[in-house]
Amino acid sequence: MALSRARKEEILQSYGEELTGTTHAFLLSYKGVTVPQVTEMRARVRQKGGKYVVVKNTLALRAIADGALKELAPHFTGPTAVAYGTDAVALAKALNDYIKEVPAFQFKAALVDGRTVAASQITELANLPSREQLIAKLLYLLQSPVTRFVRVLAAVPQQFVSVLDQIRVQKEGQS
């Protein structure tokens, strides 16, 4: 069914609003996927704060011509869906986990922080620790030297008291 010019303009405007400003986007091929599987994919992407949009390639290419996604233009062939959001690692993990369950979904390419990422590297991105885990590790590493220093400082008076106590015991034993 052919789209009317007005409907194409609406879709083009919608793509422009959604896709132009994003800095994290994943292109997926969904050939051979059922409607319930697409619905489940949308739900998982939404849980991670992202959006999942099935695009019409010709209109998407026109919409992204001036945005950051123009780097991915060669990958807009065949059935294409775009998953995008603010947390690239969380989104990559959600997509990668679901692709393991439904291999009909395939990564085409991605844009992370304005840089193009090949489909083969997206799995590596999905295996990175989450932001919270990285912050926890950083805090542990920053706190560890301070904790050790405090223990060393506390050990000096403790050892001094222990030496004084041993001297007292020796003197009491001599008398």
- 159 and 75 housed in the same domain: no
Contact (Cβ atoms closer than 8 angstroms) between residue 15 and residue 59:
yes
Angle in degrees, 0-180, between the axes of helices 88-101 and 35-47, rounded to the nearest 10: 150
Domain containing residue 158: 129-175
Domain match, 72 and 147 both: no
Say if residue 152 is in the same domain as residue 117: no
Mean pLDDT of the 39-61 span: 87
With cut-offs at 50, 70 and 90, classify the pLDDT of residue 49: confident
Same domain, 146 and 120: no
Same domain, 137 and 121: no
Report the SS3 class of residue 151.
helix
How confident is the model at residue 69, as a pLDDT? 78
Please state the pTM of the whole predicted model. Answer: 0.69
Instruction: Based on the fold, state whether residues 40 and 68 are members of the same structural domain.
Output: yes
Q: How many domains does the chain have?
A: 2
Split at pLDDT 50, 70, 90, the class of 104 is: confident
